[in-house]
Structure 1
Amino acid sequence: MMGKIISINISTRKGEKKTSVQSAVLKENHGIVGDAHAGDWHRQVSLLAAESVDKMRGRGIELHPGDFAENLTIEGIDLKGLKIGQRLKIGSEAILEITQIGKECHNGCAIKRLVGDCVMPREGVFAKVIKGGEIKIEDKIEVI
Protein backbone atom coordinates (compact mmCIF):
# COMPACT_ATOMS: atom_id res chain seq x y z
CA MET A 1 0.00 0.00 0.00
CA MET A 2 1.50 3.33 -1.10
CA GLY A 3 0.43 6.88 -0.33
CA LYS A 4 1.92 10.35 0.06
CA ILE A 5 2.10 13.26 2.49
CA ILE A 6 -0.35 16.05 1.68
CA SER A 7 0.46 18.28 4.67
CA ILE A 8 2.89 18.40 7.63
CA ASN A 9 1.39 20.24 10.60
CA ILE A 10 3.05 21.36 13.83
CA SER A 11 2.31 23.54 16.84
CA THR A 12 4.76 24.82 19.43
CA ARG A 13 2.19 24.58 22.24
CA LYS A 14 -0.55 22.04 23.02
CA GLY A 15 -4.06 23.35 22.40
CA GLU A 16 -2.80 25.70 19.69
CA LYS A 17 -3.88 25.43 16.03
CA LYS A 18 -1.29 23.56 13.99
CA THR A 19 0.56 25.33 11.18
CA SER A 20 1.46 23.67 7.90
CA VAL A 21 5.18 23.46 7.08
CA GLN A 22 6.96 22.29 3.91
CA SER A 23 9.30 19.88 5.69
CA ALA A 24 10.10 18.59 9.17
CA VAL A 25 12.58 16.39 10.97
CA LEU A 26 11.40 13.17 12.60
CA LYS A 27 13.58 12.31 15.59
CA GLU A 28 13.84 8.69 16.72
CA ASN A 29 11.69 7.94 19.79
CA HIS A 30 10.63 11.60 20.00
CA GLY A 31 8.42 12.74 17.11
CA ILE A 32 8.52 15.87 14.97
CA VAL A 33 11.22 18.28 16.14
CA GLY A 34 9.51 21.48 17.26
CA ASP A 35 6.03 19.99 17.77
CA ALA A 36 4.45 20.28 21.22
CA HIS A 37 3.12 16.70 21.15
CA ALA A 38 6.53 15.12 20.52
CA GLY A 39 8.20 13.35 23.42
CA ASP A 40 8.89 10.05 25.09
CA TRP A 41 5.42 8.49 24.76
CA HIS A 42 3.39 6.36 22.36
CA ARG A 43 1.64 9.23 20.50
CA GLN A 44 4.66 11.01 19.03
CA VAL A 45 3.11 11.56 15.58
CA SER A 46 -0.57 11.71 14.61
CA LEU A 47 -1.82 10.86 11.13
CA LEU A 48 -5.14 11.41 9.39
CA ALA A 49 -6.18 10.57 5.83
CA ALA A 50 -7.06 13.45 3.50
CA GLU A 51 -10.10 11.36 2.59
CA SER A 52 -11.31 11.72 6.21
CA VAL A 53 -10.96 15.51 6.02
CA ASP A 54 -12.84 15.48 2.68
CA LYS A 55 -15.65 13.47 4.27
CA MET A 56 -16.12 16.17 6.92
CA ARG A 57 -15.96 18.89 4.23
CA GLY A 58 -18.99 17.20 2.71
CA ARG A 59 -20.95 18.53 5.69
CA GLY A 60 -20.51 22.06 4.41
CA ILE A 61 -17.70 23.19 6.70
CA GLU A 62 -14.50 24.67 5.29
CA LEU A 63 -11.72 22.47 6.66
CA HIS A 64 -8.04 22.22 5.84
CA PRO A 65 -5.30 19.68 6.52
CA GLY A 66 -4.15 20.10 10.12
CA ASP A 67 -7.54 21.34 11.38
CA PHE A 68 -7.98 18.06 13.28
CA ALA A 69 -4.58 18.64 14.95
CA GLU A 70 -2.97 15.81 12.99
CA ASN A 71 0.76 16.06 12.31
CA LEU A 72 0.62 14.31 8.96
CA THR A 73 -2.27 14.50 6.53
CA ILE A 74 -1.80 11.73 3.99
CA GLU A 75 -3.62 10.19 1.05
CA GLY A 76 -3.66 6.75 -0.50
CA ILE A 77 -3.43 4.58 2.63
CA ASP A 78 -6.41 3.27 4.60
CA LEU A 79 -5.14 4.34 8.01
CA LYS A 80 -8.11 2.99 9.93
CA GLY A 81 -7.38 -0.42 8.41
CA LEU A 82 -3.87 -0.54 9.89
CA LYS A 83 -3.01 -2.61 12.95
CA ILE A 84 -0.97 -1.66 16.00
CA GLY A 85 2.64 -2.63 15.35
CA GLN A 86 2.52 -2.09 11.59
CA ARG A 87 5.20 0.18 10.19
CA LEU A 88 5.19 3.00 7.67
CA LYS A 89 8.23 4.15 5.70
CA ILE A 90 8.22 7.84 4.80
CA GLY A 91 10.54 9.14 2.08
CA SER A 92 13.88 7.38 1.84
CA GLU A 93 14.62 6.74 5.51
CA ALA A 94 12.05 7.59 8.20
CA ILE A 95 10.05 4.75 9.79
CA LEU A 96 6.99 5.04 12.05
CA GLU A 97 5.30 2.26 14.02
CA ILE A 98 1.54 2.44 14.64
CA THR A 99 0.84 2.54 18.40
CA GLN A 100 -2.81 3.59 18.65
CA ILE A 101 -5.89 3.63 16.42
CA GLY A 102 -8.31 6.45 17.22
CA LYS A 103 -8.55 8.43 20.43
CA GLU A 104 -11.02 9.92 22.85
CA CYS A 105 -12.21 13.34 21.72
CA HIS A 106 -11.53 15.97 24.38
CA ASN A 107 -14.36 18.19 25.64
CA GLY A 108 -13.03 21.38 24.09
CA CYS A 109 -12.76 19.97 20.56
CA ALA A 110 -13.49 22.95 18.28
CA ILE A 111 -14.32 20.75 15.29
CA LYS A 112 -16.83 18.70 17.28
CA ARG A 113 -18.49 21.90 18.55
CA LEU A 114 -18.64 23.36 15.05
CA VAL A 115 -19.68 20.30 13.05
CA GLY A 116 -21.17 18.05 15.71
CA ASP A 117 -18.65 15.33 14.92
CA CYS A 118 -14.90 14.75 14.70
CA VAL A 119 -13.21 12.03 12.64
CA MET A 120 -9.96 11.89 14.62
CA PRO A 121 -11.37 9.57 17.34
CA ARG A 122 -12.44 7.03 14.68
CA GLU A 123 -10.03 7.49 11.80
CA GLY A 124 -6.86 9.08 13.16
CA VAL A 125 -3.86 6.96 14.09
CA PHE A 126 -0.81 7.56 16.25
CA ALA A 127 2.74 6.35 15.85
CA LYS A 128 6.19 6.47 17.38
CA VAL A 129 9.34 7.20 15.41
CA ILE A 130 11.46 4.08 14.94
CA LYS A 131 13.95 5.70 12.56
CA GLY A 132 14.30 9.44 12.11
CA GLY A 133 14.90 11.55 9.04
CA GLU A 134 13.73 14.61 7.16
CA ILE A 135 10.25 14.43 5.63
CA LYS A 136 8.55 16.79 3.20
CA ILE A 137 5.22 17.35 1.50
CA GLU A 138 4.71 14.91 -1.41
CA ASP A 139 7.01 12.28 0.18
CA LYS A 140 5.85 8.74 -0.48
CA ILE A 141 4.55 6.67 2.43
CA GLU A 142 4.35 2.90 2.28
CA VAL A 143 3.24 0.17 4.64
CA ILE A 144 6.25 -2.10 5.21
Structure 2
Amino acid sequence: MAKVLAVNISHEKGVIKKPVEKGVFLENFGLEEDAHAGEWHRQVSLLGQESVDKIKALGIENLEAGIFAENILTEGIVLYELPVGTRLRVGETIQEVTQIGKKCHHGCEIFQKVGDCVMPREGIFTRVIQGGTVKAGDSIEIIED
Protein backbone atom coordinates (compact mmCIF):
# COMPACT_ATOMS: atom_id res chain seq x y z
CA MET A 1 0.00 0.00 0.00
CA ALA A 2 1.32 3.43 -0.95
CA LYS A 3 1.44 6.00 1.82
CA VAL A 4 2.71 9.39 2.92
CA LEU A 5 5.83 9.29 5.10
CA ALA A 6 6.16 13.05 5.67
CA VAL A 7 4.76 16.44 4.68
CA ASN A 8 7.43 19.16 4.36
CA ILE A 9 7.35 22.92 3.93
CA SER A 10 9.72 25.83 3.34
CA HIS A 11 9.17 29.55 3.02
CA GLU A 12 11.95 29.96 0.43
CA LYS A 13 12.71 28.19 -2.85
CA GLY A 14 15.88 26.12 -3.27
CA VAL A 15 16.22 25.21 0.41
CA ILE A 16 15.62 22.09 2.46
CA LYS A 17 12.03 21.74 3.65
CA LYS A 18 11.08 20.99 7.26
CA PRO A 19 8.51 18.35 8.26
CA VAL A 20 5.15 19.52 9.62
CA GLU A 21 2.51 17.50 11.46
CA LYS A 22 0.01 17.99 8.65
CA GLY A 23 -0.26 20.11 5.54
CA VAL A 24 -3.24 22.07 4.33
CA PHE A 25 -3.46 21.83 0.55
CA LEU A 26 -5.54 24.43 -1.25
CA GLU A 27 -7.32 23.79 -4.54
CA ASN A 28 -5.37 25.13 -7.54
CA PHE A 29 -2.71 26.58 -5.21
CA GLY A 30 -0.74 23.89 -3.38
CA LEU A 31 0.57 23.55 0.17
CA GLU A 32 -0.47 26.53 2.27
CA GLU A 33 2.54 28.71 3.26
CA ASP A 34 4.98 26.80 1.03
CA ALA A 35 7.30 28.79 -1.26
CA HIS A 36 6.34 26.72 -4.33
CA ALA A 37 2.58 27.11 -3.95
CA GLY A 38 0.76 29.26 -6.48
CA GLU A 39 -1.36 29.19 -9.59
CA TRP A 40 1.01 27.18 -11.78
CA HIS A 41 1.68 23.55 -12.75
CA ARG A 42 4.25 22.66 -10.06
CA GLN A 43 2.20 23.36 -6.93
CA VAL A 44 3.29 20.26 -5.00
CA SER A 45 6.45 18.14 -5.23
CA LEU A 46 6.52 14.44 -4.34
CA LEU A 47 9.47 12.08 -3.95
CA GLY A 48 9.60 8.40 -3.01
CA GLN A 49 11.62 7.07 -0.09
CA GLU A 50 12.83 4.49 -2.59
CA SER A 51 14.54 7.30 -4.53
CA VAL A 52 16.11 8.68 -1.34
CA ASP A 53 17.40 5.18 -0.56
CA LYS A 54 19.28 5.16 -3.90
CA ILE A 55 21.26 8.20 -2.72
CA LYS A 56 21.79 6.60 0.70
CA ALA A 57 23.25 3.57 -1.09
CA LEU A 58 25.98 5.89 -2.45
CA GLY A 59 27.17 6.34 1.14
CA ILE A 60 25.49 9.68 1.79
CA GLU A 61 24.09 9.87 5.31
CA ASN A 62 21.65 12.10 7.22
CA LEU A 63 19.02 12.13 4.49
CA GLU A 64 15.92 13.16 6.39
CA ALA A 65 12.45 14.03 5.12
CA GLY A 66 12.52 17.31 3.19
CA ILE A 67 16.22 17.20 2.32
CA PHE A 68 15.42 17.13 -1.41
CA ALA A 69 12.85 19.93 -1.00
CA GLU A 70 9.94 17.56 -1.53
CA ASN A 71 6.56 18.55 -0.13
CA ILE A 72 5.43 14.95 0.24
CA LEU A 73 7.74 11.99 0.91
CA THR A 74 6.05 8.76 -0.16
CA GLU A 75 6.53 5.01 0.11
CA GLY A 76 5.20 2.13 -1.94
CA ILE A 77 4.56 3.86 -5.28
CA VAL A 78 6.97 4.45 -8.19
CA LEU A 79 6.11 8.09 -8.74
CA TYR A 80 8.33 8.79 -11.75
CA GLU A 81 6.62 6.02 -13.76
CA LEU A 82 3.20 7.68 -13.46
CA PRO A 83 2.05 9.31 -16.70
CA VAL A 84 1.39 13.05 -16.71
CA GLY A 85 -2.34 13.47 -16.13
CA THR A 86 -2.58 10.67 -13.55
CA ARG A 87 -4.83 11.62 -10.65
CA LEU A 88 -3.91 10.62 -7.12
CA ARG A 89 -5.91 10.64 -3.91
CA VAL A 90 -3.38 11.73 -1.28
CA GLY A 91 -4.95 12.00 2.17
CA GLU A 92 -8.02 14.20 1.74
CA THR A 93 -6.72 15.73 -1.51
CA ILE A 94 -6.92 14.89 -5.17
CA GLN A 95 -3.80 15.84 -7.12
CA GLU A 96 -2.96 15.55 -10.82
CA VAL A 97 0.55 14.74 -12.05
CA THR A 98 1.76 17.63 -14.20
CA GLN A 99 5.51 16.99 -14.60
CA ILE A 100 8.08 14.26 -14.02
CA GLY A 101 11.46 15.56 -12.87
CA LYS A 102 12.82 19.04 -13.44
CA LYS A 103 15.96 20.91 -14.30
CA CYS A 104 17.94 21.51 -11.11
CA HIS A 105 19.01 25.08 -10.50
CA HIS A 106 22.74 25.36 -9.87
CA GLY A 107 23.99 26.24 -6.43
CA CYS A 108 20.91 24.97 -4.62
CA GLU A 109 21.31 24.11 -0.96
CA ILE A 110 20.32 20.50 -1.55
CA PHE A 111 23.08 19.79 -4.08
CA GLN A 112 25.64 21.63 -1.95
CA LYS A 113 24.76 19.67 1.18
CA VAL A 114 24.11 16.25 -0.35
CA GLY A 115 26.32 16.23 -3.48
CA ASP A 116 23.52 14.85 -5.63
CA CYS A 117 19.84 15.60 -6.06
CA VAL A 118 17.47 12.83 -7.09
CA MET A 119 14.52 15.22 -7.44
CA PRO A 120 15.34 16.25 -11.05
CA ARG A 121 15.29 12.58 -12.10
CA GLU A 122 12.65 10.92 -9.95
CA GLY A 123 10.58 13.62 -8.28
CA ILE A 124 7.16 14.50 -9.62
CA PHE A 125 4.99 17.59 -9.52
CA THR A 126 1.25 17.91 -9.14
CA ARG A 127 -1.48 20.49 -9.04
CA VAL A 128 -4.20 20.31 -6.42
CA ILE A 129 -7.59 19.44 -7.93
CA GLN A 130 -9.37 19.05 -4.56
CA GLY A 131 -7.97 20.59 -1.39
CA GLY A 132 -7.73 19.06 2.08
CA THR A 133 -5.19 17.94 4.65
CA VAL A 134 -2.36 15.45 4.24
CA LYS A 135 -0.33 13.92 7.06
CA ALA A 136 2.16 11.10 7.58
CA GLY A 137 0.43 7.73 7.40
CA ASP A 138 -2.22 8.84 4.89
CA SER A 139 -2.78 6.51 1.97
CA ILE A 140 -2.02 7.31 -1.67
CA GLU A 141 -4.24 5.82 -4.35
CA ILE A 142 -4.24 6.13 -8.13
CA ILE A 143 -7.67 7.24 -9.29
CA GLU A 144 -8.73 5.11 -12.25
CA ASP A 145 -10.86 6.77 -14.93
Instruction: Indicate the TM-score class for this superposition, using the shorter chain for normalisation.
Output: over 0.9
Q: Which runs of 5+ in 1 are unaligned?
A: none
CA–CA distance in 2 between the matches of 1:86 and 1:114? 32
TM-score computed with the length of structure 1 as normaliser: 0.93
Q: How does 1:112-127 map to 2 (within 5 A)?
A: 112-127=111-126
Identity within the alignment, %: 58
Most deviating of 11-20 and 93-102: 11-20
Q: Secondary structure at the match of 2:53?
A: helix
- Following TM superposition, by how much is the alpha carbon of 1:114 offset from its aligned partner in structure 2, in angstroms? 4.8
CA distance, structure 2, for counterparts of residue 43 and residue 114 of structure 1: 24
Q: Deviations over 1:5-49 (max 9, x none)?
A: 001100112233211011011100000011111000000000000
Q: How many residue pairs align between the two structures? A: 142
TM normalised by structure 2 equals: 0.92
Structure 2 residue runs without a partner (length 5+): none
Work out the CA distance in 2 between the residues paired with 1:15 and 1:118: 12
Q: Give 3-state SS (helix, strand or coil) of 1:53's partner.
A: helix
- Alignment RMSD: 1.3
Q: Which residue of 1 aligns with 2:65?
A: 65
CA deviation digits over 1:39-61, x for unaligned, max 9?
00000000000010111011111
21-30 vs 107-116, which deviates more? 107-116
Asked whether 1:141 is paired with 2:140, we answer yes
Map 1:52-91 → 2, pairs under 5 A: 52-62=51-61, 63-91=63-91
User: For residue 27 of structure 2, what is the aligned residue in structure 1?
Assistant: 28
Deviation at 1:118, TM superposition (A): 1.8
Provide the residue aligned with 2:13 in structure 1.
14
Q: Distance in 2 between matches of 1:111 and 1:8?
A: 17
